[in-house]
Amino acid sequence: MARLIGAGPSDRYYWADTVKVLGASEFRRAHPWKLADPLRAYQAGRRPVEGAELGHIVLDHQRRLKAQVFRDTLDRAGQPNGDDVEVRVKGIVADEPAGLHWRTRTVLAVSPAGRVSLPVYRSPELVPVRNIPLSVPAYDDLRLWDLRFTGAARVEVTAASHGSQVLVSITPGPQAPDGRRVRRDQIDGWQHQLARLPDHVSAQVTVPSQEPNRWPEVIHLHGDAAIREQVATEHHGTRTFKAWGDGSWPVHRDAPMTLVESVLSAAQPHSGQVVADLNAGAGLFSAFLADAVGPRGAVLSVEPNVQDSQAAQANLRELPQAVALTGSVEPILAGWLHTRQAGIARGLAGRKVDTVVLNSPNAGPGLSVLRQVHQMHPARLVYISGNPVSLARDMNHLNQQGWRLEHVDVYDLAPNTHHLSSVSLFTRR
- Assess whether 266 and 378 both reside in one domain: yes
**Position 82 pLDDT exceeds 60:** no
**Position 343 pLDDT exceeds 50:** no
Q: Is residue 63 part of a domain?
A: no
Do β-strands 116-119 and 126-128 pair in parallel, antiparallel, or remain unpaired? antiparallel
Q: Is residue 274 part of a domain?
A: yes
Domain stops at, among 176, 203, 223:
223
**Position 145 pLDDT exceeds 60:** yes
Query: Mapping DSSP to helix (H, G, I), strand (E, B) and coil, where does residue 9 land?
Result: helix
Q: Mean pLDDT of all residues in the chain?
A: 91
- Assess whether 207 and 327 both reside in one domain: no
pLDDT tens-digit series, residues 369-379: 999 999 999 99
Q: Is residue 423 part of a domain?
A: no
Domain stops at, among 370, 385, 400:
385
**Position 340 pLDDT exceeds 70:** no
Distance CA 357, CA 403 (A): 15
Among 373, 423, 362, CA closest to 403: 373
Among 210, 134, 96, 222, CA closest to 170: 222
* Domains in the chain, number: 3
**Position 342 pLDDT exceeds 50:** no
- Assess whether 39 and 152 both reside in one domain: no
Assess whether the previous peptide bond of 331 is cis (omega < 30° from 0).
no
pLDDT tens-digit series, residues 195-247: 989 989 999 999 887 766 667 788 999 888 889 999 999 999 999 999 987 77
Do β-strands 89-90 and 201-207 pair in parallel, antiparallel, or remain unpaired? unpaired
Q: Which domain holds residue 277?
A: 254-385
Judge contact between 356 and 381, C-beta under 8 A. Answer: yes
Distance CA 4, CA 126 (A): 19
Residue 325, burial from CB neighbour count under 10 angstroms (0-12, 13-18, 19+) = buried
Q: Is residue 393 part of a domain?
A: no
- Assess whether 201 and 264 both reside in one domain: no
Q: Is residue 81 part of a domain?
A: no
